[in-house]
Structure formats: C-alpha cells, structure tokens
Amino acid sequence: MTVNGADDVLLVHGGTPLEGEIRVRGAKNLVPKAMVAALLGSAPSRLRNVPDIRDVRVVRGLLQLHGVTVRPGEEPGELVLDPSHVESANVADIDAHAGSSRIPILFCGPLLHRLGHAFIPGLGGCDIGGRPIDFHFEVLRQFGAKIEKREDGQYLEAPQRLRGTKINLPYPSVGATEQVLLTAVLAEGVTELSNAAVEPEIEDLICVLQKMGAIIAMDTDRTIRITGVDELGGYTHRALSDRLEAASWASAALATEGNVYVRGAQQRSMMTFLNTFRKVGGAFEIDDEGIRFWHPGGQLKSIALETDVHPGFQTDWQQPLVVALTQATGLSIVHETVYESRLGFTSALNQMGAHIQLYRECLGGSHCRFGQRNFLHSAVVSGPTKLEGADLVIPDLRGGFSYLIAALAAQGTSRVHGIDLINRGYENFMEKLVELGAKVELPGKALG
C-alpha cells in the first residue's frame, strides 16, 4: 500500500490499559447496502443510526451522482434518501470512485430496474483473499441482464424486465446474497436462492426491503425465496449496531488489560463471540444499552478457534482476537475458513515479539475449501509474549485495527502507517482511542 504522508500515520505509545466508554452505531456491513436499497423505492427513505465512515460517504456520493437526494434527517446519524429523480451518471464521475469500495457492484440490480442500464467501475476493498465479482455478473445474467466488458469497467443493460430465477451459491457469500436480494425484489416472478448467507446484516437488509413492500421468505435451510413485486416504496429503519466493531473494542480491552463499555453493542448478534471471549478468560456484563468488556486479571487461556459463516465465529472477529491470544498461556490454534489470505497480518505481530506460525493444513477442526490449495490459512499462536513497539503498515481494515490493538498492548512507541483505511469501518476511531485513555498522536498534531 502507499503511505500518504504524516496525516496517514499515527504514533501509538503503548502499555496503557484502555478504560472508559465508547459508542458503536450502525453496521458497516448493513448501512451502505440499505442506502443502495433506497434506489429501488418510489418514495423517500429514512435511515437512522448511520455511522460517519468512508463506505457511507462513497455510497452517498454514488447515489447523488445518480440523482438521489441525500440529506441529514432530524436526529444525529439520520439520512433521508429521495430517489424521485434517478438519472444516468457520467462515466468519468462514477469512475472517480473506482478502487475506493466494493459497494458499487450492488448498484447493478437497482439501476437496471430504474434506468434499464448501469455502469460499474473497477472495484476496491481489502486484500484478504479472493472475492470474485464474476459470480455477481453471472447472477445478473441469470436475471436477464446483458453485460459488456469495457476498458474502464462493466456496462450492463436490461432490454426487458428482469425475471426471477433459481440460484445456488457454491458458498454462502454475503455479497452475492445481497446482490440477489437487491435484484430479485422487483424482478418478475419468484427467485429461489439456495445456500444463502444468513448473517444478521442480511436479515436486517431483508427487513428494510420488506418495509418497502418486498415479499421475502427465509427457510431454515439457508434458502431465501423472493416474490417479485411491481413497485416498492420508501422505508424508515434504524440500522442494527455494528457487532464487528464492538468485538474489536472488546479484543482491545482484553489485550491491553483494560475495561471498555461499548454502548450500542447487542448480545443477540454477538453470542458466538461472547462465548469465545469468555473461554479465553475475558469478562463481560450486558445491560439494555450495551456491553462492558474487561480483563478480570490472571492468565488468559489458549483456545482452538475456527472461523465460519454465521452463526459461526465471524472472520472479522478473528484478527483483533488473535492479538489478545498472543497474551494467552499455551498454544492457541486458529483455522481461517472464510478468506484464504486473512492470516498474513500476523507477520507484523511476530516482528513485535509474538510467536505465530502459519500452516497450509486445516488445523484444529474440520477440513475446509482451502485445505488442499496451498494457502497459509491456519495459525498456531504461542503465548504469552511481550510485544514491543514497531513500524507497522496497515494491510486491510480488520488487520489494521488489529495492528492498533497490538501497538496499544506493546511496550514502547509504534508508528502505524495507512490509518485512513481504518476509517472505512470504524467511526471516529482516533477520538474513541483518546476517550479511552490511549496515548496516541498524529505527528505534529495534538489529539484530545
């Protein structure tokens, strides 16, 4: 990645426990998709609990390029989205957003319904393994879209109304499930999606679409049936809280021997994480407003951990928790089954003093789709180890926050480069660090 100067570097003076209270708002993995859903409506929508993160700003810009009016609502974190005058956008303007997010791929279905055509630029996102977009386009072809690959992106047309189809996902991909939902709701006839993702954010998106007038049924076998309707209205919806950000702060509290109250954290969507957090030796207390996470003293315990799709242990929880596992006594085994390259971030932790060995084999659990494909997707973490400050370059969103946790837990000062990437999914994270007593600074600038 490219380091963008002093404003993209954070100095972290480690060794201080995080203590205090922060708030998490709407989920990064729901809010931008709910904003895209507003394109499908014939009336304005109100979305509440919206975080100020870069993915939201990217989608807001793309919506405005297509004629959607986006303005603040009556309460903080509320957006009003009016799609009354959807129009084609200039290709060069759309292309200006290329590389900044993977969300543009989800504009395809709604734009095909509203305009009959769509242009999708090259896509960005975190480099954590293969997330092929070819499947998205294949799904859209099944609905009846015509797709032409051009030098600057993909041009799509729907000569006739899109029609429902039967789709079986080879893997319960969240992005592919979202693509089908956003396309099928206005398609003619019934769409049957097998092996669908059923994450809480998917359920919340279905709630949004149902409020707009969609007919969507979820079966217990990961099958979703969507009966297309002729028209959708607007919605009023409060986004579910970001369980991935909440778990990141929980892991930070554990790794730094701290005590953090995460206002907005919700037990129901975090049950699997909470069980694992307790097995490691962390403590938590739940009330109606949030969850308090803390290190109760004594030794942390090593565990065997395997990531999986919901309701399993989420891959986005893995990286922050691995930092805490470097402080656990014994050998912890981590088997990553969702993204084949998500353990690459551990090399920097080893430079800080951690003892983490990566393996190509499926360790500590069932065999997965990466087992015979030469990917380093299992890790053995030996602890506890003292971490020392280092120069760190952020590789991806969750890995980046994990580096922050490691720097906070380490002795000495770390220089963390590329912190702007963390803004993709963590609202006001530097201000939150200061509120929790972290000793951080931007070179030449004061924080707090």
126 is catalytic: yes
**Cα(161)–Cα(248) distance, integer angstroms:** 43
Reply yes or no: is the peptide bond before residue 311 cis, omega within 30 of 0. Answer: yes
Which stretches does DSSP call E strand in 65-131? Answer: 69-72, 79-82, 117-121
The 3-state DSSP class for residue 98 equals: coil
141 assigned ligand-binding residue: no
Which stretches does DSSP call E strand in 283-341? Answer: 283-286, 290-294, 300-301, 304-306, 328-335
Angle, vertex CA 445, rays to CA 439 and CA 448, nearest 5: 50
The pair phi, psi for residue 291, each rounded to 5°, is -135, 135
316 assigned ligand-binding residue: yes
Q: Which residue has the tokens 């929980």?
A: 250
**Cα(419)–Cα(330) distance, integer angstroms:** 32
Q: Which residue has the tokens 């205090």?
A: 20
H or E element that contains 193: strand 190-194
**Cα(361)–Cα(21) distance, integer angstroms:** 40
Quick one: CA dihedral 124, 127, 132, 136, positive or negative? Answer: negative
423 assigned ligand-binding residue: no
**Cα(432)–Cα(20) distance, integer angstroms:** 9
The pair phi, psi for residue 163, each rounded to 5°, is -125, 150
Q: Find the largest Cα–Cα distance for the chain.
A: 66
**Cα(47)–Cα(300) distance, integer angstroms:** 40
Q: Which residue has the tokens 């990917």?
A: 375
| Set 126, 207, 362, 368: catalytic member | 126
381 assigned ligand-binding residue: no
29 assigned ligand-binding residue: yes
Binding site: which residues? Answer: 28-29, 102, 316, 338
Binding site for phosphoenolpyruvate: which residues? Answer: 28-29
Would you name the residues annotated as active-site residues? Answer: 126
Binding site for UDP-N-acetyl-alpha-D-glucosamine: which residues? Answer: 102, 316, 338
